[in-house]
Structure 1
Amino acid sequence: MSHHRAIAAVFAVHGAVAGTLATRIPWIEHRLDLGPGVLGLALLCPSIGAFLTMPTASRLAHRIGERPAVRLLIALWCAVLILPALAPAPGWLFAAMLLYGAAAGTSDVVMNGHAVNVERHLGRSIMSGLHGLWCVGSMLAGGVGVLAAHARVDARIHFGLVAAVLLGAGLLAGRSLLAHRTAADAPAPRRYTLPNRAILGIGLVGFCATFAEGASADWSAVYLTEVAGAGPGVAAASFTGFMAFMAATRLAGDRLVRAFGPVRVVRYGGATAALGGVLVVTARTPVPGIAGFALIGVGIATVLPLVFAAAGDRGRTPGEGVAGVATITYLSVLTAPAITGWIAEGLSYPAAFTVITCVVAVMALSAGRLAVTMPAGVGPAAGPPAGSPVAAESAATGEPASR
């Protein structure tokens, strides 16, 4: 298995774990007899766990090595999947979801940091496609979860079987990950990584994208029901369409980046998402509303992968840069649904999505922060920059830095 396919498999496994839990939340809610408030608090716990632990992930990768860190944290991510289903009471569920979020966030950081190094090794953009495969893994696992729910399979059995399969797949893929070695003079990441000014600028772009994504994913069905008069089936389909368009765009995103560069891709994507926001705000029937959410999905799809790639190049180490941006984007995930709800309740649903339209416009205007400065004559496919960890590895081993 090539290094590219190995990290692609890791991304798909990561997405599959997330998709598996998402489809069985109603089972957990029914088993523990949770009210909306308690369930909402439980669903907030993963983001809190991730937000608190992600800044430590790059330190772990530096200490034990990047490939072992990816393998360890993906294995942990698969293993904790079953914990929410085993929780006997709400307090235990909160603890399980915090652990679930911690494993999700730290594995997210190290696999994206590793993907930056694989991208350098290959000398071409692959990050958008990897995130597209994450979406594919999530949707496929979600489909399995829907079938399991219809068949009334106990979630403890469902999660246990899925976790075992995904654990095996993750460990198998981990054997073929790039054996990246940190350069001897590379600085050790800080114990708790906070973003520097350059990462904050890149993080602003990511914050805008994830804000629009979180708000659209959580509120699209409600918006279409309350504002556009859609029935439950049509409203639910809007979320599926939103995710499907995001996945398809991410899978094509690397070709777009190679053709136009990251700045123009994000800038035009922001314009597309803003157009989608205008359609949503003005929609009074389901069809233009669904089209608007699809355009938002298309417009923001490639942004987060490009933000991670840019952050990996701007941090003291790839993992440290990714950790800083991931902390910012998870803050956006935490706040976007709540802020959207507050605006919708205080003003109106169209007012809430007017704000989201402005957010993606800011994203488009901030796209220049993703610009990569390269020496004259060095193009995107010319391999890793001199002085990078991959270049140092190539010099030490005598092997080419890209294949």
Structure 2
Amino acid sequence: MSESSIAIRSLMTRERSAVSLIFLANGFLIGSWAPKIPEFASRLGLDESELGLMILCFGIGSLCAMALVGVAIARNGSQQVVRILAAIATPSLLVLTLAPSIWSAALVLFALGALIGGMDVAMNANAVEVEKQERRAIMSSCHGFWSLGGVLGAALGGLLISVFGVFTHSLLVSLLTAIMVAFAWPRVLADPTTAPADAAHHPKDPARPRGLSGLGATVWLTGIICLIMMTPEGAILDWGALYMRQELGASPAMSGLAFGAFSAAMAMMRFMGDLVRDRFGAVRTFRVSSLLAILGLSLAGMAPSPAWAIAGFAITGLGLANTVPIAFSAAGNLPGLPRGLAISVVTFMGYSGILFAPSIIGFIAEHTGFAVIYLSLTVLIALAIGFSGITRHADRPTGS
């Protein structure tokens, strides 16, 4: 066996491969849902507003689960929670395809959102435990696998639906997801179910959280950082193409490259992010990444042409790629809090930025235009840099 193959095997341990597969499966399910939306709306006779309410059911389900799963992780550990949620989520798109009415479909979408959101909290908590065990960063690459799963789900979904139809597509998605979950199942790290005495590691931490009734300023500030860093992603996903067409005169084909360039750059950087963080530390990586995101959003907001805006969105993706994984790692290592609870809170706050901020942005943009929005987001990111010292907790696994 060559030295390079030995090095690769030492990097991709059983536990790391398992949690990476869970991230891949979660992203694959979400990506596979996207190409089903037109057929879903047509089959149930939904107009745009009704479809929007349906999608809102998914979002509400996600946030409800994110707020509750942390308690289950604190009691039972992330291994058991992530296994159960992944197993139940596996056939969810097939169940949604068979939903016979609007009300049943709304309930299934709420459940699907809850399963996906709950998995998100549990798999991030498990990734933190793997980081602690291996004493190195893995969170960014895990999120890279999530991005990869989303791309694969969306790309394969359109092809499978056009060739085989929606039912066969859902069946194949469930089968592929089951294979991922089955391979990961025996390898998921069995983390401790009781929180360690972390106070000794951080005796001078003034914002040390002390339990559910007093989470502490550090938890909320970490959640605010996630909220700030995930809001631009929602702004580009929902409004990037419209900005390109309405304000920069881009063609329909080119306008679609706004989020494409952003997501491709983000996925690429996430697979490099762990090495960067281990080399330079979480705080420095977070700050430099944030400055890169500010540069990208500024370029997109002041772009004289669609090509410049696409370049700006790509740079933004490079910058934002590692900020949220760092914040999740920091949340998972906050001292004095039941295991998984901080990640639950931070995930809830962060994903609110993707689910609800775009609606507010759309309302404001009616009066200001999207260029002003993207430039204004740089101010929020600068605010997050001011709180970035909190991300030092993400380095704990490599230094403990």
TM-score by length of 2: 0.88
Counterpart AA for 2:238: D
Alignment equivalent of 2:189, drawn from 149, 168, 178 = 178
Matched, 1:314 2:334: yes
315-324 or 214-223, which deviates more: 315-324
* C-alpha contact (below 8 Å) 1:85/1:156 kept by paired residues: yes
1:366 CA displacement:
2.5
1:278-317 mapped onto 2 (5 Å cutoff): 278-314=298-334, 316-317=337-338
Structure 1 equivalent of residue 52 of structure 2:
40
Alignment equivalent of 1:17, drawn from 15, 29, 40 = 29
Alignment equivalent of 2:289, drawn from 269, 278, 282 = 269
126-135 or 280-289, which deviates more: 280-289
Counterpart AA for 1:179: A
Cα pair distance change 1:87/1:183, threshold 3 Å: closer
* C-alpha contact (below 8 Å) 1:70/1:174 kept by paired residues: no
Structure 1 equivalent of residue 245 of structure 2:
225
Matched, 1:141 2:153: yes
Cα pair distance change 1:140/1:95, threshold 3 Å: same
Structure 2 equivalent of residue 129 of structure 1:
141
Counterpart AA for 1:310: A
Structure 2 equivalent of residue 169 of structure 1:
180
Instruction: Measure the CA separation in 2 of the matches of 1:359 and 1:264.
Output: 18
1:7-156 mapped onto 2 (5 Å cutoff): 7-151=19-163, 153-156=164-167
Counterpart AA for 1:250: R
* C-alpha contact (below 8 Å) 2:195/2:338 kept by paired residues: no
Structure 1 equivalent of residue 381 of structure 2:
360
* C-alpha contact (below 8 Å) 2:299/2:309 kept by paired residues: yes
Counterpart of 2:192 in 1: which secondary structure?
coil
Instruction: Measure the CA separation in 1 of the matches of 2:330 and 2:309.
Output: 33
String of CA shifts for 1:222-243, please: whole Å, max 9, x gaps.
Answer: 1111111111111112222211
Structure 2 equivalent of residue 251 of structure 1:
271
- Segments of 5+ residues of structure 2 without an aligned counterpart are 1-12, 199-209
Counterpart AA for 1:36: E
State, as a whole percentage, how many aligned pairs show the same letter.
Answer: 31
Instruction: Measure the CA separation in 2 of the matches of 1:175 and 1:348.
Output: 51
String of CA shifts for 1:182-208, please: whole Å, max 9, x gaps.
Answer: 348779xx9989954211011111111
String of CA shifts for 1:335-367, please: whole Å, max 9, x gaps.
Answer: 221011011112212222222222222223322
* C-alpha contact (below 8 Å) 1:56/1:191 kept by paired residues: no
String of CA shifts for 1:4-24, please: whole Å, max 9, x gaps.
Answer: 111111111111111100122
288-297 or 87-96, which deviates more: 87-96
* C-alpha contact (below 8 Å) 1:53/1:106 kept by paired residues: yes
String of CA shifts for 1:284-318, please: whole Å, max 9, x gaps.
Answer: 31100101111111111111111110000116133
Instruction: Measure the CA separation in 2 of the matches of 1:211 and 1:141.
Output: 23
Structure 2 equivalent of residue 388 of structure 1:
none
Structure 2 equivalent of residue 239 of structure 1:
259
Size of the alignment, in residue pairs? 377
CA-atom RMSD in angstroms: 2.4
116-125 or 158-167, which deviates more: 158-167
Cα pair distance change 1:148/1:320, threshold 3 Å: same
Structure 1 equivalent of residue 233 of structure 2:
213
Counterpart of 2:91 in 1: which secondary structure?
helix
Matched, 1:201 2:233: no
1:84 CA displacement:
2.8
Structure 1 equivalent of residue 205 of structure 2:
none
* C-alpha contact (below 8 Å) 1:119/1:125 kept by paired residues: yes
- Segments of 5+ residues of structure 1 without an aligned counterpart are 386-403
Alignment equivalent of 1:348, drawn from 347, 362, 369 = 369
Instruction: Measure the CA separation in 2 of the matches of 1:70 and 1:146.
Output: 28
Structure 1 equivalent of residue 356 of structure 2:
335
String of CA shifts for 1:66-116, please: whole Å, max 9, x gaps.
Answer: 322211111122222223322333322221211111101111111111110
Cα pair distance change 1:33/1:210, threshold 3 Å: same
Matched, 1:381 2:398: yes
Instruction: Measure the CA separation in 2 of the matches of 1:373 and 1:26.
Output: 41
Counterpart AA for 1:99: A
* C-alpha contact (below 8 Å) 1:24/1:145 kept by paired residues: yes
